[in-house]
Amino acid sequence: EAQVTQNPRYLITVTGKKLTVTCSQNMNHEYMSWYRQDPGLGLRQIYYSMNVEVTDKGDVPEGYKVSRKEKRNFPLILESPSPNQTSLYFCASSNWWADNEQFFGPGTRLTVL
Amino acid sequence: SQQGEEDPQALSIQEGENATMNCSYKTSINNLQWYRQNSGRGLVHLILIRSNEREKHSGRLRVTLDTSKKSSSLLITASRAADTASYFCARIQGAQKLVFGQGTRLTINP
């Protein structure tokens, strides 16, 4: 089954404790991206990647890192999480370009205390 | 804001009625996409309309695009309870940055 998976689905952590949210897709997609969703603000793109070793900033990259060492994986790293990073996070992928149909993961609900 | 503007922010209608939601944007586009999100879940792609298209249909969904007004609308006909969800438009900004509108929260009342 074609899908985007994210782990963990739920995470409660404390300020400053490094964490990684994994994202993996099995559709051989080139384009992958991360979004955060906050009430009243819609979805905002954090980082995107056009292909292996090619990443670029979205609208809200501060406090986040990403890497794209393999085509299928695009982890989101919070080196020193803060409470303002409490949010619902989504990973998505698409064939080649951002303006193709995006396939979304199920989401990761992160709480930073 | 770099995001698109969607209106209304919330819409509540009776089952069987039609629902229309709108999306406006500021810069030129190659295409515009519409997505649905059920509460707290991942977004699901509904329709992609290209800049040279004026209207597109998919089942009970009809999307229109007016590039001169930089706006698009999504019409859901004969609404059902299962249509209760948030609906978002999305388009490219810059190189390959994808931006979403803030969404319309649609509630279908039985």
| Cβ-defined contact of B44 to A104 (cutoff 8 Å) | yes
Task: Note whether A59 contacts B97, CB cutoff 8 Å.
Answer: yes
Give B94 to chain A, closest Cα distance, Å: 10
Q: Give B-chain residues touching A59 at CB under 8 angstroms.
A: 2, 97, 99
For A22-66, what is each residue's pLDDT tens digit?
A: 999 999 999 999 999 998 888 999 999 999 999 999 999 999 999
Q: A83 — contact with chain B (CB < 8 Å)?
A: no
Q: Are B106 and B84 in contact (CB under 8 A)?
A: yes
Q: How many CB atoms lie within 10 A of CB B28?
A: 10
Cα(B108)–Cα(A47) distance, rounded to whole angstroms?
34
The residue whose two tokens read 């949210």 is A21
| DSSP assignment of B26-71 | SS--SEEEEEEE-TTS--EEEEEEETT-SEEEETTEEEEEETTTTE
Sorted by where each starts, the structural domains of chain B and their CATH numbers stand as 5-80+89-109 (2.60.40.10)
Mean pLDDT of chain B: 92
| Contact status of B2 with chain A (Cβ, < 8 Å) | yes
- Distance, in Å, from the CA atom of B3 to the CA atom of A97, rounded to the nearest integer, reads 19
CB-CB under 8 Å, B45 with A101: yes
Q: How far is CA A22 from the centre of its chain?
A: 8
Q: Indicate if the pLDDT at residue B79 is higher than 70.
A: yes
Could you tell me if B49 lies within 8 Å of chain A, comparing CB atoms?
no
**Cβ neighbours of residue B109 under 8 Å, at least 6 residues apart?**
B12, B13, B14, B15
Instruction: Tell me if B31 and A99 make a contact (CB, 8 A cut-off).
Output: yes
Tell me the nearest-neighbour CA distance from B35 into chain A, angstroms.
Answer: 9
pLDDT in tens, A66-85: 999 999 999 999 999 999 99
- Summarised one tens digit per residue, pLDDT across range B30-57 is 899 999 999 888 899 999 999 999 999 9
Q: Which residues of chain B lie closer than 8 angstroms to A31, CB-CB?
A: 96
Nearest CB to B45; choose among A50, A59, A102:
A102
In residues, how long is chain A? 113
